[in-house]
Chain A
Amino acid sequence: MIIKHIFDYLIMSYTFVICLSYLILGLVSATILINHNRKSQFADYHIIHSSPFAPTISIIAPAYNESKTIVDNIRALLALHYNIFEVIIVNDGSTDDSIDKVIKEYELEKVDYFVNPIIPTKEIKGVYRSQNKAFTNLTVIDKINGGKADALNAGLNVSKYDYFLAIDVDSVIDPIALLKLIKPIIEASDKKVIATGGAVRIVNSCNVNNGNIVNIEIPRNFWAKFQILEYTRAFLMGRIAWSKLNGLLLVSGALGLFDKKIAIECGGYSNETVGEDMELVVRMRRHMYERKIKHEVVYIPDPLCWTEVPETIKTLSRQRNRWTRGTMGTLFMHKKVFFNPKYGSMGMIGYPYWFFFEWLAPLIEFSGIVYFAIMAITGHVNWSYFILLLAFIYLFAVAFSFFSILYEELTFHKYYKRLQILKLFLTAIIEPFFYHQMTVFWAIKGNIAYWMGEKGWGVMERFEFKKR
């Protein structure tokens, strides 16, 4: 009986602490969004755009079997608003006709490019450049398949500029994303900004033309709808708050701008984990802390990247499984950081939060469900109290999702049609009934897969963007 009560106390305390942490993050986010909106009123991006002194940027986009969207997306990347930048597409051993399509469309020729292997990668079969003057800032690398991290490292070896933007080639990038991402870096005065990230939104069901979004819609797909809420909560209420608290451990792999020199000093992306984006951020931050250099990883709430999310349970399950393994891989590789004051706010707040509330949360929740089932079978459940607790958790979750919709409505207002908002409300109301439980289940599978030594990415399905 004593064990039962200890367990009761632990579960209750954990629930309250996690709810409290969400509230704090929500509040911090609100203050940042207000400040961000104030600053945005007089942000002169054209100054950066036209300046010859603005930092230079290499965009690195690994591509694996992206034949359906690659041509349009490269065109959109080449049209980004910035003064000096290059686009590096890394064909990571695609088995489809991606490379042929790109060579044909952009009039590419294989050149005698000398690649300095600063970071070791799988063999590069060839480097291509266009002889058409319209595409002079495009470089295409064709290499043996080695995974996303390996492809990014190959891109890093070829890149020639001060900063690099790592993106997913299937994502749609806002035309002024580079200007917005570089701004915190050049605005910083007392701290070095080593990386910046922007909000990622969902492109499913949106109309895309030539790699640009022309009409934003709520996905028609059932599973993608839930992910809209997830992304809004994570980006508008989570990451911007962590950025303010200087505890950010992750810049999304779909869109992240990094200081190239520091990334290379750290050895580039790691092939040891499928969460290479998170791992690089943690390693770069450790590097800075160990050299006692004041630094920041900044997060911009503006929706700068629109990505395609899984639409089937199978793909979604694989993605979540991979995310869990990526988180675990990074956390275990950098266990030295855990509650280590040497690593400042990352060690004392950021890492422990990820450990307890990102990695352990599904495990604790799952054990709670199992415990409840045992208690229910053995007749030890007080049903009145259970209903009260259930109502509390459910209403709290719905209210929290509603607040994220409010944040979106007050700031970027991307889903402005009334029907879209009603759909979001409805999704928030039904989400806690089963979608959340599914994510817990996939996270458990991810944990098992990690301990079983699974390393792969799994196959992601791609679809052609809806054109108008």
Chain B
Amino acid sequence: MTKSNYITIFLFSLFFTVLLYTAILISFSIIENRSVQPSLFQYIVHELPDKYILNTLEDQHLARHIILIALPVILISIILSLVSIITLILVIIADNTLLIYRRRLNSRLKQKIDNLLIEYLVSDSQKVFNDIKKFRTNLSKKILTNRMIQLQTNVIGDTALRLRNLFIKLHLDRFAVKRFSKLLWYKTVQNIRVLSRMDITDTKNKISGYRHSPITHIKLEAMLALINLDKENTFSFLSELTHPLPEFHQLYIYDIIIRNSIKPPLFSDYVNTKNESVVLFCLKMIGAFKQDRAYKEIIHLLNDERYEVRKQTIRTLGELENKNAIPLLKALYSNEDKDNKIEIIKSISKIEFDEPDSFFMNLINEKDLNIRMEALKALFQTGNINDEELAYIEKNNPDVEMEGILKHIMDKRI
């Protein structure tokens, strides 16, 4: 939002605050029979009603009471509403004109900058560099930064490196650091992200200072930026986090690892922290990066008292496809609720079997239709069922549900 927008919102707030304050003040002053500003208020409270309203009333006593309280509020509201209507018309039209002008300007600048950036990346010419350098105003530098970030997400290798070097040569890194703001937290967040995206490692000490910011947004952003910028202590923050790590930031960390080809740490180092969100994140990452070495470190989490931790451990064990987990998962089955039972079935079905197993066969008679379905799916997926067994299931479970489930599973179009 632009400054003029803030001013308008501020005026709006001021208008209503004044309205409320005046109404309350006048009402109280009338009730207590005290005059606030004798000349103006006497006129509003006494002369106006007497002249135009009260002398026409039949029951002057009661009516005066209502009118004396309400009238000043009504009159002031009318005046303020009128003033605000006129002001709003002017502000909205002015803002609209300004916005259209800015849009056109931005669009022109964007077009120019995009062309120059692409030309520079293709030709590496000094002349093009000099042309880009001519963008000196704050607005053009902001647009330039945004376009470079945009471009950076779509290029890799040598081109990405040249783009980064151009960013530094144009001193946009210094521009970003300058824009760190003590008052406006979002500007700091925005610029930390810019520096991280452009891989400006020199700024890691500056950004490191924000790891202890009282503003959570800044704190998390600094931690995430350091994954990319500080190659030595990349993930140490995971053991320091005291507040929950939101799922969005978990996705963000994964994105940074993939995008910047960062070597993932052994996430099992952090699974014993008390922070549940960190444990869940590490379990997901262990599965995603197939960190088989973590198996021994996470297996005890199957008995963790936290429900979500147990659920994610079951899933991760399925991802790791470690056969040793099968008996443990089976042993856990009877103690878990329906959702975790289904997770156990899904996980076991991902792990390759050495020999046919009766575990799934025993589950196809479960009351819950979802469990039955998952068990049958698992039987088919693992190739643990032959025609004889299928005929046996159909014969021994003549109910409509079983027939439906079998048809569903065997329909390849689903």
Contact = CB atoms under 8 A, between A and B. Distances in A.
**Could you say which of A188, A190, A385, A413 has the most chain B C-beta atoms within 10 Å of its C-beta?**
A385
A398 B75 CA distance: 16
A20 B73 CA distance: 12
A396 B255 contact: no
Interface in A382-413: 382, 384-385, 388-389, 391-392, 395-396, 398-399, 402-403, 405-406, 409-411, 413
Nearest to B414: A111
Contact of A116 (B19, B277, B370, B407): B370
Interface stretch (B6-14, B32-40, B131-139, B378-386): B6-14
Interface stretch (A22-30, A214-222, A450-458): A22-30
Nearest to A54: B251
B96 interface: yes
Contact of B9 (A113, A388, A392, A410): A410
A112 B408 contact: yes
A388 B85 contact: no
A54 B53 CA distance: 66
Contact of A189 (B77, B277, B369): B277
B93 A186 contact: no
Contacts of B252: 44, 47
A107 to B, nearest CB: 11
B81 A47 contact: no
Interface stretch (A32-40, A306-314, A333-341, A441-449): A32-40
A12 interface: yes
Contacts of A23: 16, 19-20
A425 B85 CA distance: 10
B328 interface: no
Contacts, number: 175
Contact of B81 (A54, A399, A421): A399
A291 interface: no
A399 B84 contact: yes
Contact of A27 (B1, B16, B255, B413): B16
Interface string B364-404: 00000110010000000000000000000000000001001
Contact of A114 (B245, B248, B404): B404
A231 to B, nearest CB: 18
Contacts of B413: 109, 111, 129, 131
Contacts of A410: 1, 5, 8-9, 95
Interface stretch (A1-9, A247-255, A361-369): A1-9
Contact of A402 (B13, B73, B88, B246): B88
A114 B74 contact: no
Nearest to B220: A189
Nearest to B194: A42
Interface in B262-314: 277, 284, 288
Interface string A177-192: 0000001011111100
Contacts of A20: 20
Nearest to A50: B255
A109 B73 CA distance: 68
A50 B254 CA distance: 10
A382 B248 CA distance: 62
B247 interface: yes
A46 interface: yes
A405 B13 contact: no
A51 B89 contact: no
Interface of A: 1, 5, 8-9, 12, 16, 19-20, 23, 26-27, 30, 33-34, 37-39, 41-42, 44, 46-48, 50-55, 109, 111-114, 116, 129, 131, 183, 185-190, 261, 380, 382, 384-385, 388-389, 391-392, 395-396, 398-399, 402-403, 405-406, 409-411, 413, 416, 418, 421, 425
27 contacts: A1-B59, A26-B12, A37-B1, A50-B255, A51-B255, A53-B251, A113-B411, A186-B246, A186-B248, A189-B244, A190-B244, A382-B63, A388-B53, A388-B78, A391-B78, A392-B77, A395-B77, A402-B92, A406-B12, A409-B99, A410-B1, A410-B9, A410-B95, A413-B99, A416-B96, A418-B93, A418-B97
